[in-house]
Amino acid sequence: MPRMLARAAVWAALLAIVALPAASAYAVPRLAPAFTARLLDGKTLSLADLKGTPVILLFWAPWCPTCNGEAPGWERAYQRWQGKGVEIVGFGLLDSKPAVEAFVQRYHLTFPNGYDDNGRIAQSYGFTVQPFWAVISKDGTLLRAEYGPSSEQALEATIETLAHR
């Protein structure tokens, strides 16, 4: 029995070491990386344009099952919070621009979305796997960058926290 417990402890430690980097790209808050991107509607958006407003950046791929499952919740959260002091901006990547546009149309996403064709923006935030989100405070501090949101409720809780920060 002690040998089984020791073996289980080793596996748990290894799992924690492997999972930790994927769970959170940045444990210490830092200045959010600047970006300028063309949105799918043809407008240009930069992080500087959002100065003074908390922001959640969502990085997603059209073929990602989790992204497809969560997209309706992203839109519902956006609709509830639109104009209430927190911005949501999405970036499709890891596929073609037409596939990204089709995803936005399929889920009727009305929050700003862009196409991160070379993954440059996502990589600057520590992108590991999609969906990936970056949470930025109104002063431009990157508070969190990690895989997620894991649910509509998690996204809502993060928005609520940002709105009252």
Query: From its phi and psi, is residue 140 left (phi > 0), alpha (psi between -120 and 50) or beta?
Result: left
Residue 47 is encoded by which pair of tokens? Answer: 């992080």
Phi, psi of 161 (to 5 degrees): -65, -45
Q: Is 64 a catalytic residue?
A: no
Helix, strand, or coil (residue 132): strand
Compute the Cα dihedral for 30, 13, 23, 130 and give only its sign. positive
Catalytic residue (choose from 67, 71, 145, 162): 67
CA triple 5-9-12, angle to 5 deg = 135
Compute the Cα dihedral for 124, 17, 131, 54 and give only its sign. negative
Residue 111 is encoded by which pair of tokens? Answer: 């929050």
**Distances in Å between the alpha carbon of 55 and those of 4, 30, 87, 129?**
46, 14, 5, 20
Tell me the catalytic residues: 67
